[in-house]
Structure 1
Amino acid sequence: MGRIEKRRSSTLGGVFMRYVLVVLGALFILVVGIILIFSILINTGYIYPANYAEQKINEEYESIRNADEVTEDMIPPLCHYVIFSLDGKKLSGNMPEELLEIAWNVAENGKASGHYFYKVISRPGEYVVLQYSLTPQYRSAFLREYVIDPQNLFTIILVLGTILIIIFPSIRFGKKMKTQMLPMMSAVGRIKEKDLEYDVSYCGIKEFDDCLESIDEMRIALKDSLEQQWKTEQDKNRQMSALAHDIKTPLTVVRGNAELLSETELTEDQKKNVDYIIDSTLQIQSYVQKLIEVTRSAQNYSYTSEKVKTEVFLKNIRKQAAGLAEVYHLKINWRENWSSEIIDLSDEQVTRAVVNIIQNSAEHTTQNGVINIYAEEQDGKLSFTVEDTGQGFTKEALQHGTEQFFMDDTSRSGGNHYGIGLFSAKTIAEKYGGNISLTNSEETGGAKVKICFHLRQDNI
């Protein structure tokens, strides 16, 4: 796997600048188009220019002033008018009633208010006031009546066009950016899925391509690191397997001599001690065999369950605890509470987990000390609580005591302790959907460990 050759790339700033130029260009075309259409409509006469009414008033000014009588047909288009007597009385006109006061104020004082414009024509005995606006108007009376004026119409078109010009290029720009980012997102996704065998494809944007190069360098470094880690793990497993094979030889010798010794005449205490030796040797040989199997295929190692008699299972653990008590010169207080005659678990694995905890307590309890063990089976769970009269856990041990190879030599020292027992017990408990907790006992002042296993088959 390698890298696909880079294609010519643009900067992110250049891409954004092209987007800005496209938007500005489209806005320019929109404005020019509106102005051009507006001019064509004015030139063709469909729309009157803004000063059309004012021009017509100037053209008709003299004729209105000198006419014998002013009639409505003499009023220029787009205008309203009113004729006042000299004392302000309305004589005629079509100007809206609400604007008459403003029109008279214009005729009398020359002052106007509002958004309309006014032209006053003085005639003998009367004033003619013309009202008009300086905005483009449709030539069609129907359009003037029912459609908004051209100026506001083109303003609305300009605003809507501007919004559309901003929205659509932005959507297109966003889709393009998303497409350009796909190679980077794909690379991150492949690494997340632990797939480190893929070709890097560049997107054509310099900043993104530089990021892809960094990701690819990280991928290569991660791949090399994992391969090295795998090789190291394989070497360690081979060494452990070889060591386990080497341990089997002296164990066989110990077991053989213990069996030979058991055939001689022994006292009751001696016979009991030899039985402990033989049973422990058999147990160690079983553990060594499992260690060999685990190191050969750690990933395929499984915890198979089986149905066992609760009484027999607990009796076996109690017997091993008694053997440890003999070796370390301790006293075992054993309590048990169970209701199910048969339980479903891996006899060997759960036994090993519990015995590891008991041995951990035995190693850290002074001679003639006491270990309290309480076994309880209830509601589909099996739990063991082990507490001793040792010095207890330190704060650090309470946090990290179940981690592999953790050794707290400051308080619970003594014996050949390699930080594996509690870690192994935790691993087995979690395989059964259970857990392990470390505390200090209020009753004994020493360490207290509780381990729990779920007995349901589907948790294994």
Structure 2
Amino acid sequence: MELNRKGQSLQLIFFKYLLSVAFGLAVSAGLALLLFTMAYRHNGIVPADATEQSILQNKTKIAETEPFDSSLIPENVGYAYFADDGHLISSNMSAVERKKAVAFLRGEVMSTPSSSFMEIKRPEGVVVTHYTLKPRYTDPWMEDHFPPVNYFFAVLMVSLCFISAMAITVIWARRLTKQLTPMIEASEEIAKQNLDIEIGTSTIKEFNGVLNALEKMKIALDQSLRENWSEEAKRKNQISSLAHDLKTPVAIIQGNAELLKETKLSDEQRGYVDFIAKNSSRISAYAHALVQVNQSSAIKELDLKRVHVPIVVEKIRALAREIAVAHGRPIDESTHTGDGFVSVDYKQLERGVQNLLMNAVQYAPEASAVELLITTRENFLEITVGDRGPGFSDEDLIRASEPFYRGDKSRHSSTHYGLGLYTAKTVADLHHGSLRLTNRSSGQGAMVTLMLPLENSL
């Protein structure tokens, strides 16, 4: 069912974002202008036309004062005083600037903001001043060490605009991330098949569309999983029922075969009876194997208990000794563990370790020892069982933990149905651990390690 989730469109969200950026840029530019206006008002910066206004204020005095007084010319202004015949009377200009001044008098050079000239007539000649129309710092030290006022203003404005745009972008990004959170959380929970969740909402219409789709997906997946679980349960029940139903006719066949053996039979007939008995036993073993697989795959939850590692080690060692004594095999034990804790289901753990030990007993040469090594390392309790048998082939190392895999003929018999390592791996997986298969470095014998995660001591 689609929930009624409304919200603003992404188009409107991005339009608001652009408006926010534009507003931030305008505020930044206004702040830069305000700072420079305050600097002008507090005489921190001299306006661009200040030099020109100073010359105009003194223009009359410069033109009429006798004799000519160069102190009336403002600082940082070049001048050249020419007689009517073109003779240079006095100047503080360089030779290049004087040439430009002469060219200005002839009308060959025009004034520009970066190179301005002003002509002031005197009774016996003319004064030409040279200056620039640009703002400057009132403090001489700042004038010498700071960049030009125009450049400084441009850098300040660009910096403020950049900071403003970045700050606004970060704020909007966090808002969008917050709106994405319900989708991310819902996706993660659905991926874990945790469907008993309530999917959140967003203030963005398009995001709500995705959330509605996730809601539909959750419902469909829940229905599908329930159907699959139901079908799987039915299948397992059918297999268990079939395996159970096979026991009676197989028992009858075996019983009749045994009775026939007691009668007078020809050699050919006795061979047929032996064949019937042998294969009925195989059918019974296969049915038992099917029941085992069903039991392994049916385990979904464990009765976990937090146990001190030494206690688990002692239980495993005791189990190993029982199996070794029952099969007349010596056992080599080696234990190097710490004082950590593990969460285990004793019943299932013993089942897994028992399968490893039985595999080792089955594949080890007669009278050879079975090795049991228990260690703690890298946050794992490692239970390793080894034998001196033929070891694993390359294919075995990849597939040996698959159900019913029998692999290399040197490592299976007619009574082996490829369930031991599968069962051990199932137990390891349920404990959030793993099963590792290796061969001895000497090349003689296999090593199987069941790894269980350690917990903190607290």
Instruction: Look up the equivalent residue of 1:287 and give its one-letter code.
Output: Y
Task: Judge conservation of contact 1:121–1:129 (CA < 8 Å) in 2.
Answer: yes
- 2:261 corresponds to 1:208: no
- 2:212 corresponds to 1:159: no
Question: Matches of 2:70 and 2:181 in 1, distance apart?
Answer: 73
C-alpha change, 1:97 and 1:351, in structure 2 (3 Å) is closer
Secondary structure of 2:182's aligned partner:
helix
Question: Matches of 2:280 and 2:88 in 1, distance apart?
Answer: 130
- 2:456 corresponds to 1:456: no
Secondary structure of 1:266's aligned partner:
coil
Question: Matches of 1:168 and 1:151 in 2, distance apart?
Answer: 26
Secondary structure of 1:308's aligned partner:
helix
Task: Judge conservation of contact 2:49–2:133 (CA < 8 Å) in 1.
Answer: yes
C-alpha change, 1:194 and 1:232, in structure 2 (3 Å) is same
Match of residue 118 from structure 1: 117
Instruction: Look up the equivalent residue of 1:23 and give its one-letter code.
Output: V
> What is the CA deviation profile of residues 183-220 of structure 1, one whole-angstrom value per residue up to 9, with x for unaligned ones?
11111111122211111111221111111111111011
Match of residue 187 from structure 1: 186
Note the C-alpha offset of 1:53: 2.3
Task: Judge conservation of contact 1:200–1:212 (CA < 8 Å) in 2.
Answer: yes
Instruction: Look up the equivalent residue of 1:456 and give its one-letter code.
Output: M
Note the C-alpha offset of 1:425: 12
Task: Judge conservation of contact 1:80–1:95 (CA < 8 Å) in 2.
Answer: yes
C-alpha change, 1:243 and 1:60, in structure 2 (3 Å) is same
Question: Matches of 1:79 and 1:351 in 2, distance apart?
Answer: 99
Note the C-alpha offset of 1:81: 2.0
Note the C-alpha offset of 1:52: 2.5
C-alpha change, 1:263 and 1:98, in structure 2 (3 Å) is farther
Question: Matches of 2:89 and 2:145 in 1, distance apart?
Answer: 30
Question: Matches of 1:308 and 1:290 in 2, distance apart?
Answer: 19
Note the C-alpha offset of 1:142: 4.5
> What is the CA deviation profile of residues 160-203 of structure 1, one whole-angstrom value per residue up to 9, with x for unaligned ones?
11111111111121122112111111111111222111111112
Note the C-alpha offset of 1:140: 4.3
Question: Matches of 1:161 and 1:268 in 2, distance apart?
Answer: 107
Note the C-alpha offset of 1:455: 3.8
Identity of aligned residues (%): 24
Two-structure CA RMSD over aligned residues (Å)? 4.1
Match of residue 132 from structure 1: 131
**Count of matched residue pairs:** 351
Task: Judge conservation of contact 1:121–1:128 (CA < 8 Å) in 2.
Answer: yes
Show the 5 A alignment for 1:24-35.
24-35=22-33
Show the 5 A alignment for 1:217-366.
217-296=216-295, 298-300=297-299, 304-305=355-356, 306=358, 307-308=360-361, 310=363, 340=388, 353-354=405-406
Show the 5 A alignment for 1:44-123.
45-76=43-74, 79-84=77-82, 91-96=89-94, 99-112=97-110, 115-123=114-122
Task: Judge conservation of contact 2:403–2:418 (CA < 8 Å) in 1.
Answer: no
Instruction: Look up the equivalent residue of 1:11 and give its one-letter code.
Output: S
Question: Matches of 2:249 and 2:194 in 1, distance apart?
Answer: 45
Instruction: Look up the equivalent residue of 1:117 and give its one-letter code.
Output: S
Match of residue 196 from structure 2: 197
Instruction: Look up the equivalent residue of 1:179 and give its one-letter code.
Output: K
Task: Judge conservation of contact 1:82–1:129 (CA < 8 Å) in 2.
Answer: yes
Task: Judge conservation of contact 1:9–1:205 (CA < 8 Å) in 2.
Answer: yes
Match of residue 38 from structure 1: 36
Secondary structure of 2:297's aligned partner:
coil
> What is the CA deviation profile of residues 57-80 of structure 1, one whole-angstrom value per residue up to 9, with x for unaligned ones?
333323222332333311135522
Question: Matches of 1:152 and 1:341 in 2, distance apart?
Answer: 84
Secondary structure of 2:223's aligned partner:
helix
Question: Matches of 1:312 and 1:259 in 2, distance apart?
Answer: 33
Instruction: Look up the equivalent residue of 1:105 and give its one-letter code.
Output: A
Task: Judge conservation of contact 1:23–1:165 (CA < 8 Å) in 2.
Answer: yes
Secondary structure of 1:121's aligned partner:
strand
Instruction: Look up the equivalent residue of 1:275 and give its one-letter code.
Output: D
> What is the CA deviation profile of residues 382-433 of structure 1, one whole-angstrom value per residue up to 9, with x for unaligned ones?
499xxxxxxxxxxxxxxxxxxxxxxxxxxxxxxxxxxxxx999997999887
Secondary structure of 1:130's aligned partner:
strand
Match of residue 167 from structure 2: 168
Question: Matches of 2:208 and 2:44 in 1, distance apart?
Answer: 57
Secondary structure of 2:361's aligned partner:
strand
Task: Judge conservation of contact 1:3–1:200 (CA < 8 Å) in 2.
Answer: no
TM-score, normalised to structure 1's length?
A: 0.64
Instruction: Look up the equivalent residue of 1:92 and give its one-letter code.
Output: S
